[in-house]
Structure 1
Amino acid sequence: MVGPPEQDHDPRTETAPGPGVGASAPPLPRGTARPVVGDEEDLREEAEAALRRLVGRDDARLRDDQWRAIDALVSEHRRALVVQRTGWGKSAVYFVSTALLRARGAGPTIIVSPLLALMRDQIAAAGRAGIRAATINSANVTEWDEIHARISAGEVDVLLCSPERLNNPGFRDEVLPRLAADAGLVVVDEAHCVSDWGHDFRPDYRRIRTLLAELPVGIPVLATTATANARVTADVAEQLETTGHEDARSDVLVLRGGLDRESLHLGVLRLGDQPTRVAWLLEFLAATDGSGIVYCLTVSVAEQVAAQLREAGVAVAAYTGRTDPTERESLEADLKENRVKALVATSALGMGFDKPDLAFVVHMGAPSSPIAYYQQVGRAGRGVDEAVVVLLPGEEDARIWEYFGSLAFPEERQVRATLDALERGGTQSAQLLETQVDLTRSRLEMMLKVLDVDGAVKRVKGGWESTGAGWTYDAERYARVEQARLAEQRTMVDYVSTDGCRMAFLRATLDDPELEAGTRCGRCDNCGGVTLPSAPTREHVAQARKAMDVPGVVVEPRRMWPSGMPGLGVELKGKIPPAEQARPGRAVARLDGLGWSQPLRELFAPGTPDGEVPVHLRKAAVQVLDAWPEGTTVDGVVAIRSTTRPELVSHLAQGLARYLGKPFVGTVGPSPEHEAPGRHDVNSAMRLAGVAQRLTLELSPAARTGLAGRSILLVDDLTASGWTLAVATRLLTEHGATGVQPFVLAQR
C-alpha cells in the first residue's frame, strides 16, 4: 500500500481549491445531511479521493492507521488519540475527516493548535484541498468579528484557535460554547501539551478537558502528537475519555506507530569550548547543502550566535521569544524559500513549523528532555532522503536546566497567599497580585492558569477572581512530576554519552512499540552512518574567539514603576520622570550568553569566594568603558555597596575611578536594619519594595552637596530586575545628580 508523502502535507504541490470539501458542491449547513455512504469500501474510496486533493498526488493512499482513525471519527463518532512520528500524516487524518463530515452536513472542525506557524501551514494545506480554514489567535484580533460572521454563515470548514484563546474570558464564555455545540469535529493538536508529564506542558491546554466534557453527545474528537511516551499517552487518553454521556462510547481509540525516521542521521560532538563550537558551526554550514535550524537554549545565545555567523558572511537570522510575531512569519517564509541558510532559534520555533526539505538541525547545547529533542530534530528530513542532526553539548547546559527547573509549580504557602488575596480583594490583575505574593510574574501567571482549570479561580475581564471553591495542594503529584523532569535530564546526559544506536535510544525513551531489541539504525555516528568534521580550523576558532572577546551589552533603564506599590508601603507609581531615570548603561556580558558570559558565570557561582575583580575581567571592563563615550565623561563614581561581594564591588568601582581619573564619591547601600541581602526570587513589585525600603545614600555632607549638576558612573556587580539601579539613580538625582550611567559586570 502506498502511503501519503513523508511530510504531513506537501507545500511543493498546489491544487486549485474546489467549490467545497470532498464534493463538487459546497458543504451544507449542519442539520441538512446528505445520505451517508453505504459501506466501508465506498467510504475509504471517498476518503482517499480527499487525500489526493489534499496532497496533490494521484498515487496517494491512506496508511492503515490513518484509515482506522478516519473511520472511527466519521462512521462511529469516536474519540481517538494518534501518536505517530513527525511526517507520518496526522494532519491528513483531520483534514480528510473534515471533508467527509462536512459532506454529510456536519458543522465545522475546531482545531486547537499551539503555534501560529502551525496554523499558517495548515490553512495553506486546507486551501489546496478546497477546505475553507480560518484562525483566531492573538495576531489577528481585528479579524475576529469577520471570522465569527463567516462561521455563522457556514463559510468556514475549519477553525484553528490557540490554547490561550480557551482562557480568554470573552472567547471562553461567549464564542466557544456556540462553536463547540455546533462542531462537526474537535481536534487537539500537539496533545502531549495536555499532560503535565509531557515535555511541553501548557496550563492553557488543561482547559481542553473541560471543553471535551461539555461537548454535545456524538461529536468526534481527535488528539494528535508525535512526542508522547507511554506515560503521556495514557494520561492524554484518560483525559479524552471524559464524556459525561452514558449513551456515548467513551473508550478512546489509541493508535501508536513506530518512531523511526529513516532520513535522520544523528550525531553528537563534544567540543572544548564555546568559540570552538561556533567555529565548527561556521564550517558545517559552509560545507552542508540546503538550509536548516540551529537551536540554542537561551535567547542571548541565539542572538549572539546569529550575529557572529552574519559577521562571517553566513545568511542567518535569530528567531526567539523576543521576535515580533509579524517578523516571525517573515523569517519562517525566508527559511522555507531558502533565502537564509538557517534560523538560529530557541524552542520558540518548534511544534508545527513545516519545511519538508529541511536539511539539518544543529543544537548548540542539549535540551533538558530527550523527548523535546526528538520533537525538535523531527523538523528535519520530512521530504528528503537524508538530513543531518548534530548535538553540540555545552558545559553550561546543566545550569540552564536548573534555572528552568526553578520555575516549577510554587510552594503551597505561595498558592494560599494568592487565593487569600483574591478572596480579600475581589477581582485583581496580575500586576496588583504581585504586590501581595512573592512570585515572579511568569510563575504567578502560570499558577493562576492552573488554578483556573482546577476551578479555584476564574479569569474575568479586569483580571482574576476567586470562585470560593475548595482546592487541595497535591504536593505528592508535583513532586512526582519534578522527579520525572530530573529523570529526563539524566536520560539526556545518557544520550550524549551512549555508544549505542542514537535513534534506538530516542525510540526507546519514547516507548516506541515497534522497536526491537538490538536494533541499530545504521545511520548515526555510533552506527557508522554519518561522519562529521571533528574539529574546526585554528583560524576559524581564533576568529570566533575574537568576536566573543568583544565585551559590552546595553543595560536598558527602568522607565515605569510597577502597579500597586502604595499597597506595599512604597509611594511610587506611574512613569519614572525622565530626570530621575538612569541613562542606558553597560554590562560586560549577560550571564546566559557566550564569550565573556563563561568567566562571569564562574565569578558569580555560589562557591566562588568574594575577592578582587580577576585581571581578565578588569581588562574587559576597561574595554567596555573605552567603547562607551558617556561612561568616560562622567564627573565621579558611586558604588552600590554589596553585602555579599563587598570586596568585588569596591575593587571594581575604585579601580574604574582611578582608570578614568575621576573621584570616588562614595556608596549607596543598605541601611543598618537591612544589612541582610534582599531576595531576588520574587516578582518585580516585591523586589522594588525591598530595594526602596533598604537603600540609602551613604555620602558625606560635602559629597552630597557636590552632586548638584554632576554626572555619575553608578557601579554594581550584577543586575537582574534593574530596580537597584533605578532606586540608586533616584537617590542620586534627588540630590542634584544628572546623567547617571550604570555600569555592571554582568546582567542576568
Structure 2
Amino acid sequence: MDNAELRAEADAVLAELVGAPGGPARLREDQWQAVAALVEERRRALVVQRTGWGKSAVYFVATALLRRRGAGPTVIVSPLLALMRNQVEAAERAGIRARTINSANPEEWSTVHGEIDRGETDVLLISPERLNSVDFRENVLPGLAATTGLLVVDEAHCISDWGHDFRPDYRRLRTMLAELPAGVPVLATTATANARVTADVAEQLGTGAGEALVLRGPLERESLRLGVLELPDAAHRLAWLAEQLDRLPGSGIVYTLTVAAAEEATAYLRQRGHQVASYTGRTENADRVQAEADLLGNRVKALVATSALGMGFDKPDLGFVVHLGSPSSPIAYYQQVGRAGRGVEHADVLLLPGREDEAIWRYFADTAFPPEEQVRQTLSALAGAGRPLSVPALEAVVDLRRNRLETMLKVLDVDGAVQRVKGGWTATGAPWAYDAERYAWVARQRAAEQQAMRDYIGTPRCRMEFLRRQLDDEGAAPCGRCDNCAGAWIDGSVPTEALAGAVKELDRPGVEVEPRRMWPTGMPALGIDLKGRIPAGEQCATGRALGRLSDIGWGNRLRPLLADGAPDGPVPDDVLRAAVAVLADWARSPGGWASDAPDATTRPVGVVALPSRTRPQLVASLAEGVATIGRLPLLGTLAHTVPDGAHTARRHNSAQRLATLSGAFSVPGELAEALTRTPGPVLLVDDCTDSGWTLAVAARLLRRAGSGPVLPLVLAAAG
C-alpha cells in the first residue's frame, strides 16, 4: 500500500472516530506525520501539542491501522480516570474495542485479562500505578510487553522529575520500553512540557531504540481570553463568583487549591441557587462519574474542583475556567485552563488570586526528595530486616509522611535500589548514589515556578505570551485578547448584599474532627506496647474545630494566629465567640447533649486543657473562656512530663509522632481528683490538631483516670 492509500484509510478511521462515517474528515498534516511515523516507520515519537490539538486521534487512528495489519493491542498509560472514561467512549465510536484496568474497577480485572489473552481487546488503558503492582508486573506485564502493538504514554511530562507533575510510577515505563520487541512503535503525548522536560522524555523514549522523533507545535490557544482579577479577600471572590457565574459562557470549571475550599465554594454557590457539583480527591468514584456526565450534558453550570479534575477531561464546548486561588506553577495553570475552548470560538479564563495562596503552596510543598540520611536509613532498615517491610512498618524507622515515603520508595525501585514484593519492600543490595545536585535543581525549579506565577499575576504584558514562554514556545507573541492586550473586560464590583452573604457563609465555624481508632503499625519496634484497635473506652470522641487551615473562610483567619513564630496571647474575642457557637451547634446536633436522640452524649461536666509550650496563653484563655461562657468548671490542665518539650518537635508520620508523645503527658493529682469527683464527659481544649495523636494520647490518659467520653474542641484542624 502506498502512502496515499494509507492516508485515505487513516482519514476514513478518523471519520468514524468523530462520528461522521463516510463524511469529510481529514487528519491535519502534523497529525498525519505522527500517524505515518508510527504505522509506516514503527518509530518512537514524542508529540508536544496544545490541549485540543487531537493527540488522541493520532493514537486511535494508528491503533486501527496497526490492528488491521496484524499488530497486537495498543496499551495506553493514562494518569486519571476521567481521561480513561473519555478515551474508552471515543474508541468505541471508531469500532475500537477498549478496556481499562484501574483502581475503580478491580472486579473487572480478571475478565479484562482474559479478553486480552484471547485477542478480543484493541486498546487497554492502564493507570501508571498498575505498573508498580507486584501481581500486574509479574503476571500481566511480561505478556503484555511481548504482544503490544503500540505503546502510548499520555501526559508524558509525568515521566520527568523536571516537570511540574512528576509521578514516580511513570518511571517504571523505562523498564517496559526496554523490554518491548524491536519494531514496536511508541507514542508519548503532552501539552505541557518545556524544552528541558521535552528533552528528558525524548531521551527516555529512545532507550535502546535510537533517537525518538519529536513533533512539537505552537501552544497558542486562539479561543482563550485570559484575565486576572485581584479582589480584597475570599468573601469578595466568592461573592463575585456567585454574581457572575451565570454570565460566564456555557458551562465550565471552577478550580480551588484545596478540598475544603471546593466544598465551601460548592455549598455557597448552591445556596445562591447555582447548579454546581464538587469534584475532589475525596469524591467517591460513582459521584465523580456522575459529576463528569452532568458537566458534559450541561446539567450543571460548573464543577467546583481541585486538581483531581485535570489531565484528560474532554469537553470541547467548555466555556470557562475560573481559579479561586492561584496554582503554584504556570505550566500546571496552563494545563488546567487548556480544558476550555477546544471546540468553541471563545472561552473565558479568569484567575482570582488570594493572599492565602502562598501559605497553601507551602502547606503542600513537602514533596522534595528526602535528605540522604533518611534515604540511607530506609535502605539500611530494609537490608537488615530479613523480610519484606510494609510502608507502615517503615514509618517506625524513618520520619516521613506516608505519601512522601511511598514516593521515595517508588523512585528507589526504578533506580534498582529496592524492589516491591508481596508483603512490602526489600532492598536489592545494588549500589545507589544520592543525586543531590539533581534534587536541589528540581527544588530550585519549583521555587522559580512559584515566582513565575507571581509575575504572571502582576505582568503588564500579554498573558498568553507569558504562559507560552514558560513552556519555551518559540512562536510566543501577543494574543490581542487578554485583559492586558485588549483592556480589562472583567467587572470586579461586588454588590453589598452578595458580599454580606459570602461573609456570613465564610464566618460560619465548625467542622468535625475524626478521632484515631487504630494505633500505628510498628510501635512495639520502638519499644512502645501499643498495637491494633484503640479500646473503645480509651478512644477520643468525634470532636469539633472552628475550621481547617486549608479553608478559605476560617482557615484564612486561623493561619496567622497559629503560624510558626506567631506571638502568643489571649484568644481573640471573635475567635472565642466562634468557639462558643461551635459548642452550641455541637450540643444541638444529633447525638449532642442538647438533642433528644436516645444515644445522645450527656452534658460535659467540665473543661480540661492540653498544656502548650508554644501558645500557653492562647490555649489557657480559650479553655477559661469556654468554661466561663458555658458555665462549666475548669477541671484543670494535663501536665508535661518531658521537660525539654521534645514531644513538640515536628514529626511527619504517625509512628514517629506517637513515639514522641508516649509518656509526654500526665494527669496531675488535682485533675485526677476532679475527674473522680465529677465523673462524666469532658471537653478537651487545644489550639490545633494535625495528626490527631496528641488528642488520642490525652483522651487515653483521661479515660484511664476516670473521665467519661473525651470531646475535643480545637481552633483548627490541619488539612
Q: Indicate the TM-score class for this superposition, using the shorter chain for normalisation.
A: over 0.9
Within-5 A mapping of 1:238-249: 238-243=203-208
Matched with 2:128 is 163
Measured in 2, the distance between the counterparts of 1:63 and 1:699 equals 82
**Which residue, out of 495, 508, 513, partners 1:555?**
513
AA matched with 1:350: G
AA matched with 1:583: A
Instruction: Give how far 1:571 is off.
Output: 1.3
- Is the aligned partner of 1:110 residue 2:75? yes
What is the SS of the residue equivalent to 2:310?
coil
The CA RMSD measured in Å over matched residues stands at 1.4
Matched with 1:41 is 4
- Is the aligned partner of 1:509 residue 2:474? no
- Is the aligned partner of 1:694 residue 2:664? yes
Measured in 2, the distance between the counterparts of 1:86 and 1:543 equals 37
- Is the aligned partner of 1:542 residue 2:500? yes
The answer to which of 419-428 and 621-630 deviates more is 621-630
- Is the aligned partner of 1:330 residue 2:290? yes
AA matched with 1:721: S
Instruction: Give how far 1:708 is off.
Output: 6.4
Measured in 1, the distance between the counterparts of 2:484 and 2:456 equals 11
Measured in 2, the distance between the counterparts of 1:707 and 1:403 equals 44
What is the SS of the residue equivalent to 2:483?
coil
Asked if 2 retains the 8 angstrom alpha-carbon contact of 1:590 and 1:597, the reply is: yes
Measured in 2, the distance between the counterparts of 1:328 and 1:530 equals 35
Within-5 A mapping of 1:332-347: 332-347=292-307
AA matched with 2:543: G
AA matched with 1:61: R
Measured in 2, the distance between the counterparts of 1:557 and 1:702 equals 23
Instruction: Give how far 1:707 is off.
Output: 5.7
Measured in 1, the distance between the counterparts of 2:521 and 2:128 equals 28
**Which residue, out of 409, 418, 421, partners 1:460?**
421
What is the SS of the residue equivalent to 1:135?
strand
What is the SS of the residue equivalent to 1:232?
helix
Asked if 2 retains the 8 angstrom alpha-carbon contact of 1:631 and 1:741, the reply is: no
Matched with 1:141 is 106
- Is the aligned partner of 1:433 residue 2:394? yes
Asked if 1 retains the 8 angstrom alpha-carbon contact of 2:647 and 2:660, the reply is: no
What is the SS of the residue equivalent to 1:385?
coil
Instruction: Give how far 1:281 is off.
Output: 0.6
Matched with 1:4 is none
Matched with 1:34 is none
Instruction: Give how far 1:631 is off.
Output: 7.2
Cα deviation, 1:698-722, whole Å, max 9, x if unaligned, reads 3427625626632101000110011
Matched with 2:194 is 229
AA matched with 1:81: L
Measured in 1, the distance between the counterparts of 2:650 and 2:302 equals 37
Matched with 2:43 is 78
Cα deviation, 1:20-55, whole Å, max 9, x if unaligned, reads xxxxxxxxxxxxxxxxx2x11111111111111111
Matched with 2:408 is 447
Asked if 2 retains the 8 angstrom alpha-carbon contact of 1:666 and 1:699, the reply is: no
Query: Which TM-score applies when normalising by structure 2?
Result: 0.96
Matched with 1:28 is none
Within-5 A mapping of 1:2-151: 37=1, 39-57=2-20, 58-151=23-116
What is the SS of the residue equivalent to 1:706?
helix
- Is the aligned partner of 1:210 residue 2:175? yes
Asked if 1 retains the 8 angstrom alpha-carbon contact of 2:130 and 2:136, the reply is: yes
Change beyond 3 A, Cα 1:727–1:287? same
Measured in 2, the distance between the counterparts of 1:289 and 1:511 equals 30
Instruction: Give how far 1:677 is off.
Output: 4.6
Give the unaligned 5+ runs of structure 2.
Answer: 595-602
Matched with 2:583 is 625
Matched with 2:162 is 197
Asked if 1 retains the 8 angstrom alpha-carbon contact of 2:396 and 2:526, the reply is: yes
Measured in 2, the distance between the counterparts of 1:702 and 1:236 equals 64
Matched with 2:243 is 283
AA matched with 1:734: R
The answer to which of 45-54 and 666-675 deviates more is 666-675
Asked if 2 retains the 8 angstrom alpha-carbon contact of 1:73 and 1:221, the reply is: yes
Measured in 2, the distance between the counterparts of 1:217 and 1:657 equals 75
Asked if 2 retains the 8 angstrom alpha-carbon contact of 1:335 and 1:343, the reply is: yes
Matched with 2:641 is 671
**Which residue, out of 350, 365, 370, partners 1:390?**
350
Asked if 1 retains the 8 angstrom alpha-carbon contact of 2:174 and 2:204, the reply is: yes
Change beyond 3 A, Cα 1:735–1:681? closer
Change beyond 3 A, Cα 1:581–1:451? same
Cα deviation, 1:543-583, whole Å, max 9, x if unaligned, reads 10011111111111111111121111221111112221121
Matched with 1:15 is none
What is the SS of the residue equivalent to 2:667?
strand
Measured in 2, the distance between the counterparts of 1:705 and 1:102 equals 76
Asked if 2 retains the 8 angstrom alpha-carbon contact of 1:638 and 1:667, the reply is: yes
Measured in 1, the distance between the counterparts of 2:659 and 2:565 equals 28
Asked if 2 retains the 8 angstrom alpha-carbon contact of 1:186 and 1:220, the reply is: yes
Measured in 2, the distance between the counterparts of 1:326 and 1:209 equals 33
AA matched with 2:401: T
Measured in 2, the distance between the counterparts of 1:86 and 1:347 equals 16
Asked if 1 retains the 8 angstrom alpha-carbon contact of 2:79 and 2:154, the reply is: yes
Instruction: Give how far 1:56 is off.
Output: 2.2
Measured in 1, the distance between the counterparts of 2:582 and 2:521 equals 34
**Which residue, out of 473, 488, 494, partners 2:434?**
473
Matched with 1:489 is 450
AA matched with 1:48: D
The answer to which of 263-272 and 286-295 deviates more is 286-295
Asked if 1 retains the 8 angstrom alpha-carbon contact of 2:580 and 2:630, the reply is: no
What is the SS of the residue equivalent to 2:309?
coil
Measured in 2, the distance between the counterparts of 1:696 and 1:207 equals 49
AA matched with 2:634: F
- Is the aligned partner of 1:406 residue 2:366? yes
Within-5 A mapping of 1:529-608: 531-608=489-566
Instruction: Give how far 1:286 is off.
Output: 2.4
Measured in 2, the distance between the counterparts of 1:183 and 1:98 equals 11
Asked if 2 retains the 8 angstrom alpha-carbon contact of 1:715 and 1:744, the reply is: yes
Instruction: Give how far 1:670 is off.
Output: 2.2
Measured in 2, the distance between the counterparts of 1:257 and 1:415 equals 40
AA matched with 1:311: Q
The answer to which of 210-219 and 660-669 deviates more is 660-669
Cα deviation, 1:114-142, whole Å, max 9, x if unaligned, reads 01111111111111101111111111111
What is the SS of the residue equivalent to 1:106?
coil
Asked if 2 retains the 8 angstrom alpha-carbon contact of 1:565 and 1:685, the reply is: yes
**Which residue, out of 232, 243, 253, partners 1:293?**
253
Asked if 1 retains the 8 angstrom alpha-carbon contact of 2:672 and 2:705, the reply is: no
Asked if 2 retains the 8 angstrom alpha-carbon contact of 1:704 and 1:735, the reply is: no
* Percent identity of paired positions between Structure 1 and Structure 2: 62
Measured in 2, the distance between the counterparts of 1:573 and 1:707 equals 32
AA matched with 2:67: R
- Is the aligned partner of 1:253 residue 2:213? yes
**Which residue, out of 452, 455, 480, partners 1:522?**
480
The answer to which of 398-407 and 309-318 deviates more is 398-407
Change beyond 3 A, Cα 1:84–1:253? same
Measured in 2, the distance between the counterparts of 1:235 and 1:705 equals 64
Asked if 2 retains the 8 angstrom alpha-carbon contact of 1:707 and 1:737, the reply is: no
Instruction: Give how far 1:674 is off.
Output: 4.8
- Is the aligned partner of 1:310 residue 2:310? no
Instruction: Give how far 1:353 is off.
Output: 0.5
Asked if 2 retains the 8 angstrom alpha-carbon contact of 1:80 and 1:223, the reply is: yes
What is the SS of the residue equivalent to 1:405?
coil
Instruction: Give how far 1:391 is off.
Output: 0.1
Asked if 2 retains the 8 angstrom alpha-carbon contact of 1:438 and 1:686, the reply is: yes
Matched with 1:731 is 701
Change beyond 3 A, Cα 1:520–1:420? same
